[in-house]
Amino acid sequence: MPIPRYQPVGDRALLVEFEKKISQEVNARVHSLNETLLQEKLDGVEETVPTYCSLLIYFDPLKTSYEYLVYILQDLQAENFRNVRTQRRTVTIPVVYGGSYGPDLDYIAKHNNLTEKEVIYIHSKKTYTVYMIGFLAGFPYLGEVPEEIATPRLKTPRLKVSAGSVGIADRQTGLYPCDSPGGWRILGWTPLTIFKPSRNPPALLNPGDQVHFKPITQGDLETLHRK
């Protein structure tokens, strides 16, 4: 298993890079290191940002140093990131697929020589892992989408994608937490609020969570309320 690379990011951050690929194994190593580091409660460590295959660590240079953190991280690496067991949530996301809620469902189906019903079935039958949060506050990157429905991004991003939209970009799927420009292929929409600043925690999903999409109808929306 490749050894992580350590490199400074300015004078207040350290980047730990694993293998540059999207995989559950690599992402699990990122989160294992992150959780172990957080449990250490090191003086001077201010914030950690886990991604697909790297961990960014912000620190106070008046309380600790890049060299000391690398030493600690290498020690944790030698211990194989100890067997950290963190309870992960499984979250069900109701989704209205197609129509005005999923304007790209037809394209996704035709691109993959499938019917719209087949795309919905394939997308919703799998349980996804939240690899990371990024792009927008609370935007979850989930993977991996089955190869049968993988679809490239739009060549020209839309100027506005509605909050709650569920999209596909290659083998990733994700949910837009707010109205914003976006280039992902939109196949559905959820009535759940993905990010709410006044909520604790504000993001509906966190890295490591397991997500299942549940197809619903427009009629079902009347019985659901934004959370």
How does DSSP assign 150-204, residue by residue?
-BPPPSS-EEEE-TTEEEEEBTEEEE-SSSEEE-SEEEEE-SS-SB-TTSSSSBS
Confidence of residue 134 (pLDDT cuts 50, 70, 90): confident
Query: Which comes out higher in pLDDT, residue 222 or 12?
Result: 12
pTM score, whole prediction? 0.81
Tell me the domains of the chain and their CATH numbers: 5-78 (3.30.1360.40), 90-221 (2.40.100.10)
Calculate the alpha carbon distances from 47 to 22, 35, 54, 95, 101 in Å: 23, 12, 14, 33, 37
Kindly report, residue by residue over 15-44, the tens digit of the pLDDT: 999 988 888 888 888 888 888 888 889 999
Mean pLDDT over residues 131-155, rounded?
Answer: 94
Whether the Cβ atoms of residue 52 and residue 22 lie closer than 8 Å to each other:
yes
Task: Return d(Cα 144, Cα 87) in angstroms, integer.
Answer: 21
Task: Return d(Cα 141, Cα 149) in angstroms, integer.
Answer: 16
- Pull the structure tokens for residue 146: 């089955």
Confidence of residue 227 (pLDDT cuts 50, 70, 90): very low
Mean pLDDT over residues 2-23, rounded?
Answer: 90
Confidence of residue 224 (pLDDT cuts 50, 70, 90): low
Residue listed under structure tokens 């295959």: 53
Cis peptide preceding 201, ω within 30 of 0:
yes
Task: Return d(Cα 19, Cα 16) in angstroms, integer.
Answer: 10
Residues 6 or more apart whose Cβ sits within 8 Å of residue 50? 30, 31, 34, 132, 207
Burial (0-12, 13-18, 19+ Cβ within 10 Å), 31:
buried
Kindly report, residue by residue over 64-122, the tens digit of the pLDDT: 999 999 999 988 876 655 555 556 789 999 999 999 999 999 999 999 999 999 999 99
Cis peptide preceding 144, ω within 30 of 0:
yes
